[in-house]
A and B are shown apart, each in its own frame.
Chain A
Amino acid sequence: MNAILSLIAVIALILIALLGVKTANLHSLFGIAVPYAAMAIFLIGVISRVLKWGRSPVPFCIPTTCGQQKSLPWIKQSKLDNPSTTSGVIGRMLLEVLLFRSLFSNTAFELRNGPKVAYGSTRWLWLGGLAFHWSFLVVLIRHLRLFTEPVPACLSSLEVLDGFLQIGAPGLLLSGVVLLLAVTYLFLRRVLIPEVRYISLAADYFPLFLILSIALSGIIMRYFTKVDIVGVKALTLGLVSFNAVIPEGISVVFYIHLFLVSALLAYIPFSKIMHLGGVLLSPTRNMPNNSRMERHINPWNYPVHVHTYEEYENDFREKMKSAGIPVEKE
């Protein structure tokens, strides 16, 4: 049900772009105004969300320690899984962000008769997630060629690398295909694994469908309808230099693609896709386990009502004396 609603929402977005451009001829709205607005929402939204997180303090030092602590000099510390220094934390974070290290250690269990609980490694989510994010990144970077003139050499070489399979003309780019497959996998596991389906909200399917249709519309433009790339580039260069004009003859598929991307941009700050920022701010991962060595400060630490020793002794003085326990007041 959640999946179907999300699918309907994405189809609605496609129809809006289609009708808006084809029927209502609102080229400048969909080609210029909407992308600008989306970008503005994205930037302001992301920044304000991160600032909002940042405004809440980190009162305690609560890293999840996943390896040996630093203690006696002859005991080998797990410097990455239980870092006690900033460089260790940076290492831990880099491995998380670039390689999804925690997901790599994922396991699955099975309850057999006996009872016997058996565990095994499962790396499919890690692989699918990694493929998805990295291909997403490559696709994103490749798009920079639309916004630069001349195109920097590094972008061109990335494209050569990406197209090393050299299939068809224009050459098949691996990243797009991987992205499509990875998103499909992420969707399938969401509907096929009962637990994951049970926890999935519409907000979990929506970005997947959105990205799927962005990728599909991109692929259609590149390999099938062969969009007027010169015209597109004129528009995109215009957009970045803030004097955009709508060139004639760009197909509606492009406008749909652009509208979906705009929708994604505008959606990000309000959604779970903000995890990119959140992971960097997650106290269980980005803090060193050094709280016995260095004092962390809780900015809102306040005095509390305690039961003092004096009160305790008043309650138990006679019993303490008879048990031979020294007291302050005889």
Chain B
Amino acid sequence: MSKTPKPDELSKVDYTPPKTGWMDTPAEFKQGMWCYGSKPKNLETLEFPNPRQWSPADEDWKLPENWQEILLNGLKERLDKYRSFKVFMDICVRCGACADKCHFFIGSGDPKNMPVLRAELLRSVYRGNFTTAGKILGKLAGARKLTYSVLKEWWYYFFQCTECRRCSVFCPYGIDTAEITMMARELLNLLGLNTDWISGPAANCYMKGNHLGLEPHTIVGNLEYMLDDIETITGIKIKPSFNRKGAEILFVTPSGDLFADPGTYTAMGYLMLFHELGLDYTWSTYASEGGNFGFFTSNELAKRLNSKIYAEAKRLGVKWILGGECGHMWRVLNQYMDMWNGPADFLLVPKSPVTGTVFENAKSTKMVHIAEFTADLIKHGKLKLDPKRNDHLKVTFHDSCNTARGMGIFEEPRYIIKNVCNHFYEMDEHTIREKTFCCGSGSGLNAGENMELRMRGGLPRANAVKDVVEKYGVNMLANICAIDRAALPAILDYWVPGTGCTGVHELVANALVMKGEKERTTNLRGEPLNGMEGQE
């Protein structure tokens, strides 16, 4: 693995396009910008084609003889299945409004990271094979043949898109390059061309229920560590249940929060909140992953992984489902789950047992976002909160791409944060809400070997953080996404050292005054509370 250049070196980005036209500039695989190839055993587990040992750096990718035919048939099939794809192939006017909206373009200056050009990589092949003008006029009509070099270019650049949809916000027709990337990745998967960091976790999700491959006893064990910590900090012993039939609520959250800091503090937050409410809920070890690595692979695999949530809810006989803080998990739950694995007619319309609020907005999927749930609790005064405990924090909020542009959950987390923290500051308006910048590691790009790519992609986000760090002394970046919690610490360390990263429910739990708790001397991270150096 190559060494990632230093920030001052990396931030000298040259935006001048190459002298040669993009069709005549083959992709050059730069170290640190791509992920390792999928391993055969994971593809076998997932029943995907062409499992074999290969490396993207190899000349020969060991493809089946008729790989072009497979891809073109796959392309045709998807044009017939998705109106979005077909329309987006036809109507781009190349106005360039999306060009500088991609964090990867801003951070790398590579013109093929302009959403429009990323899409053209595939569109050109579409034109060459499926349109009259393209077949006759060829390059003049922006058409080209599907060659080995084009295929490699696809692989390189469609795994440099985090499917964040920022480009789609600015396009006058809503052309969503994320949608095109999703199609391209499906096509690549027809040839066994996935990355190791996606197919491995996906295989884990399939066999073990979560992307980290935590087996049932490990999940329980990991939570027990957290429970011990909670007891040390609050004096309260919590006993959650697992796979319990007859619970009112099934709780599903990304498994990342059961595994590593700072996500574990968010998981502790859930445990404390639910305990304080006396919620009748259960965890599941079978449906132990809200995140969906299938979504970065193919629609079919995403559906296969997602199916566990409803299946488990049905088996356990719960009334409704509560979902934890996660980005793409919520895009999937909001925009796909019901169409794949619904109808959830065996569940009831979610109703908060604490406030009686009926979540009409989830009356079909029966799945509520924890930020909606908690905001409702706070609004009804059901939580005793002491925001002073978070006074050492100056917090800003990062909207995750998927919950922002594939759902629109903006106010709920902000309302919560403002109730549990006294110091909250927004970042530059061009970098939040629907215009939020990706962490740069989404859609399965959160690997180690592509660190330079991640740092480049993370530049716009981190830079907006740096701005509030300098202006207001912000020291904590809150978010509602497990990938953020896994990816942002490294990005912040690199671009804005000294800035922490937290889930919203960690902040909640720190402020939460629990019945029968002892006086807290530390926060969930074990840092002393009485210092309170943030007090002014």
Cβ A65 vs Cβ B365 within 8 A:
no
Q: Which residues of A contact B8 (CB under 8 A)?
A: 115
B170 x A106 contact (CB < 8 A): yes
Q: Is B32 an interface residue (CB 8 A)?
A: no
Q: Mark B348-368, 1 if CB is under 8 A from A, else 0.
A: 000000000101111111010
Contact between A69 and B173 (Cβ–Cβ < 8 Å)?
A: no
For A151, list chain B residues within 8 Å (CB).
none
Q: Which of chain B's residues has its CB closest to A306's CB?
A: B307
Closest A residue to B375 using CB positions: A72
Complex partner residue of A322 from B137, B217, B340, B362, CB under 8 angstroms: B217
Cross-chain contact B172 with A284 (CB below 8 angstroms): no
Please determine whether B100 and A109 come into contact, CB atoms closer than 8 angstroms. Answer: yes
CB-contact partner of B174 in A64, A78, A193, under 8 A: A64
A106→B430 CA distance, assembly (Å): 10
Chain A residues, CB < 8 A from B339: 59-61, 291, 295-298, 301
Look across to chain A and name the residue whose beta carbon is closest to the beta carbon of B207.
A307
Tell me the number of A-to-B contacts counted with CB atoms below 8 Å.
324
Interface contact A271-B133, CB-CB below 8 Å: yes
Nearest-neighbor residue (CB-CB) of A77 within chain B: B408
B361:A325 contact, CB within 8 angstroms: no
Total interface residues in chain A, CB < 8 Å: 99
In the assembly, what is the distance between CA of A204 and CA of B94, in Å? 7
B216/A323 in contact, CB under 8 A = yes
Instruction: State which of B11, B335, B365, B463 has its C-beta within 8 Å of the C-beta of A60.
Output: B335
Instruction: Indicate if the CB atoms of A53 and B169 lie closer than 8 Å.
Output: no
Chain B interface SS verdict (over half): helix
Per-position 1/0 for A63-75, Cβ under 8 A of B: 0111111111011
B21, B90, B96, B133: which contacts A195 (Cβ < 8 A)? Answer: B96
Which of B286, B338, B405, B408 has the most chain A CB atoms closer than 10 A to its own CB? B408
Docked-complex contact A119 and B13, CB < 8 angstroms: no
Beyond A199-B117, A275-B93, A292-B362, is A64–B168 a contact (Cβ under 8 Å)?
yes
Chain B residue numbers with a CB within 8 Å of A322 are 217
* B385 interface hit (Cβ, 8 Å): no
Question: By the criterion CB–CB under 8 Å, are B116 and A326 in contact?
Answer: no
B112-156 contact mask (Cβ, 8 Å, vs A): 1 or 0: 001011001000000000011100010011100000000000000
Q: A194-207 interface mask toward B, CB cutoff 8 Å, 1 = contact, 0 = none?
A: 11111111111000
Closest to B464 in A: A117
Question: Does A170 reach chain B (CB closer than 8 Å)?
Answer: no
Complex interface bits, A295-323 against B, C-beta within 8 A gives 1, otherwise 0: 11110110011111100110110011011
Which residues from A are CB-within-8-Å of B285? 316, 320, 325
Can you name the residue of chain B whose Cβ is closest to the Cβ of A52? B86
CB of B225 closer than 8 Å to a CB of A:
no
Which B residues touch A115, using CB under 8 A? Answer: 7-8, 11, 459, 463
Residues of A within 8 A of B94 (CB): 196, 199-201, 204, 272
Q: Enumerate chain A residues within 8 angstroms of B276, measured Cβ to Cβ.
A: none
Given the known interface contacts A65-B405, A323-B216, the answer about A291 and B91 at a Cβ–Cβ threshold of 8 Å is no
Q: Which of A2, A54, A203, A272 has the most B CB atoms < 10 Å from its CB?
A: A203
- Find chain A residues with CB under 8 A from B338 CB: 291-292, 295-296
A42 to B478, CA, bound (A): 54
**What is the distance, in angstroms, from A115's C-beta to the closest C-beta of chain B?**
4
Residues of B within 8 A of A309 (CB): 286, 308, 311-312, 315
A293/B360 in contact, CB under 8 A: yes
Interface bits B235-277 vs A (CB < 8 Å: 1, else 0): 0000000111100000000000000000000000000000000
8 interchain residue pairs of minimum CB distance: A278-B91, A69-B408, A115-B11, A65-B408, A323-B217, A284-B174, A119-B430, A285-B174
Residues of B participating in the A interface, judged by any CB pair closer than 8 Å = 7-8, 11, 13, 15-17, 21-22, 47, 79-88, 90-97, 99-101, 106, 111, 114, 116-117, 120, 131-133, 137, 140-142, 165, 168-176, 179, 206-209, 215-217, 220-221, 242-245, 285-286, 300, 303-304, 307-308, 311-312, 315, 333-336, 338-340, 342-343, 357, 359-365, 367, 369, 372, 375-376, 379, 404-412, 415, 428, 430-431, 433-435, 459-460, 463-464, 466-467
Given contacts A111-B15, A201-B140, 19 further A-B contacts (CB under 8 A): A52-B86, A59-B339, A62-B406, A66-B408, A71-B412, A82-B408, A105-B435, A115-B8, A115-B463, A284-B84, A289-B407, A293-B363, A297-B339, A304-B304, A306-B311, A307-B206, A316-B215, A323-B242, A324-B220
